[in-house]
Structure 1
Amino acid sequence: MNEYKYISIVINKFDLPLEIKLATPDSDLIDQKKIDEAIKQISEKVTEYEQIFSLENNNSLLARFQNGDESGLMTSPEFREVYEQTITAEQMTHHYFSSYFNSQYDPIGLLNGWIIDKIFNKYLLSMLSNNGIDGVSLRSGEDVRLASRPNIDFRWRVAVKDPQNLDILLATYFLQNGAISTSNKRRGLRNEKSNIEQVTIVSSNALDANIWSSAGISAGTNKFPEFVSKYHLTGMIVDSSSGMMNFRDGYSDKIAVQR
């Protein structure tokens, strides 16, 4: 079995930094010029997204949209795509996922997953064809997308911590490919009474993982299992009263949380 070294590269994004990780059995095999060029392109793409979605920029399409200027829906394919994704997500989750915050359109949560997927698919997946790179990952906050070179036995390790005590490890996922999102803050327009503390979702992409982890927190321990079953979700729920519920492809079991 190979021993891996992990190369970390951080790109500042307008709300949370993006962290790229490359898993390599031998860093001397890596063509650094190709990596540098990819990072340059990613940085330029992040700057483009910043001009569209940053609320710190009063002239961004999102800031203007919040002030009543909806022209971004006509002029920007990216803005329109995110807007349409938020509508779909709200309908699919019965509005337990919401793109509104403080009564304004603010898709920052969904946007995190969307940006990860866009950059990952366009720039990072192709790195697996380079010598010396067996795995790539892209993280922003509690959302991460992962992939490994085909036909090798390499898996990314993703830890899920207790939301009340980060020194306690609740679960570890070992993935060759996929995405994981963990949420512990309610932002939905609908919030059920519940002792739910945290939701983790494993999916094929960061966008879906983010949507469902956010919806799960708002739907609560009693309601969210209905979505788990209907949409064949995989992940875990942490509830202060009922403990920990693991679910895979829609089927679940409960485990007490020791604190």
Structure 2
Amino acid sequence: MTSPDRRTWTHDVMGSVATIRLVGDPVAEAEAVAACFAELDLADRLFSTYREQSEVSRIRRGELTIAAAHPLVEEVTEGCRDAERTTGGLFSAWRDGEFDPTGFVKGWAIERAARAHLAPLLERSGCLAAGLSVGGDMQLLTAEGADWTWRVGIADPSRPRTVVATLEVPRGAVATSGSAERGAHIVDPRTGRPAAAGVASATVVSDSLAHADVWATAAVVAGFDDLGWITRAGTTTGLLVADDGRTRRWLGATEIAVDAAAPSV
């Protein structure tokens, strides 16, 4: 049987690389790809804390109110408030009184772009699957009835260019947070200090990338020994990797495995 065509596009954005992968032979793919990247560029212009004239930077300096900003700013703000409530404070977009939606906005923007511009391709003949990822966080779409499953490798935080596990995802979202690539950049909102509870990486699989991204961050903050949050996270699966290489895996609200070493692929 002939394998379906696979096409890949990349685009620099959000200090990382966005990648679109299409499987099959979709119609109007060029327009969809361009629109998808444009959505990510817009999110970067609005929300980047590294751009002096982004709306978030202006809000942080007191030059702009959320109410007067682009409508998407209020949408993200509400999403951040909801995430703080649902995680019980394990996630927060407010640092020392300043608004920093970085931990929410990437997953939200990827999911929003994928659903708006890639999902319609699946409704036309020829497109089996479409995926959008930025820095390893991804929203994966598959046409109804299509014989396609995404295989996602989870990077081993202690061994570059190797994987600690491989997930098979028919459709959904995968988010990974941790200190492996960017150091101790995740702050525990409860203390205001870098999260230091023994998690090298946390991967969460859910239907929504905005949801998965928030809970991956929350998992790092909660720490390797605390899975009490998974009942609040709803329908997710995931994998925690400790600083010492131990792993914990869960499905829904139930832990399914604890390993002394990395699981086999």
Q: Which residue of 1 aligns with 2:183?
A: none
Amino acid corresponding to residue 210 of structure 1 in structure 2: D
Structure 2 Cα separation of the partners of residues 209 and 18 of structure 1: 18
Distance 2:111 2:67 in 1: 21
User: How far apart, in 2, do the equivalents of 1:97 and 1:184 lie?
Assistant: 14
Q: Which residue of 2 aligns with 1:217?
A: 220
Query: What is the distance in 2 between the residues matched to 1:243 and 1:197?
Result: 10
Displacement of 1:198 after TM fit?
Answer: 1.1
**Alignment of 1:166 onto 2:169:** no
- For 1:258 and 1:58, locate their aligned partners in 2 and report how far apart those are by CA, in whole Å: 42
The residue aligned with 1:58 is 52
- Between the aligned partners of 1:197 and 1:82, the Cα distance in structure 2 is 27
Could you tell me how far apart the structure 2 residues matched to 1:37 and 1:140 are? Answer: 19
- Find the aligned partners of 2:5 and 2:41 in 1 and give their Cα distance: 29
Q: Which residue of the partner structure matches residue 12 of structure 1?
A: 12
Alpha carbons 1:74, 1:80 under 8 Å: kept: no
Judge which range, 227-236 or 185-194, deviates more. Answer: 185-194
* DSSP 3-state at the match of 2:22: strand
Letter in 1 for 2:18: L
- Greater shift, 186-195 or 197-206, is seen at 186-195
Query: Is the CA contact 1:188–1:218 (under 8 Å) kept in the aligned structure 2?
Result: yes
Distance 2:44 2:203 in 1: 27
Aligned-partner residue type, residue 166 of structure 2: T
1:195 to 198, 202, 207: 198
Q: Are the counterparts in 1 of residues 66 and 73 from structure 2 also a CA contact under 8 Å? A: yes
Q: What residue number does 2:109 align with?
A: 115
Aligned residues: 252
Could you list the runs of 5+ residues in structure 1 that have no partner in the other structure?
Answer: none
Deviation of 1:72 after TM superposition, in Å, equals 3.3
Per-residue CA deviation, residues 114-159 of structure 1 (Å, 9 max, x unaligned), is 1011101110001112333211000011210101111122001101
* 1:254 paired to 2:258: yes
CA shift digits 1:6-47 (9 cap, x unpaired)? 2111123233232110112xxxx444xx11222232343334
Secondary structure of the corresponding residue to residue 91 of structure 2: coil
Point out the structure with the larger helix share: 1
The SS at the match of 1:17 is strand
TM-score by length of 1: 0.88
TM-score (norm: length of structure 2): 0.86
Does residue 1:206 correspond to 2:209, yes or no?
yes
* Maintained 8 Å contact 2:55/2:69: no
Q: Are 2:86 and 1:86 aligned? A: no
Give the drift of 1:167. Answer: 4.1
Show structure 2 runs of 5+ residues with no match: 180-185
Contact 2:188/2:195 (8 A) holds in 1? no
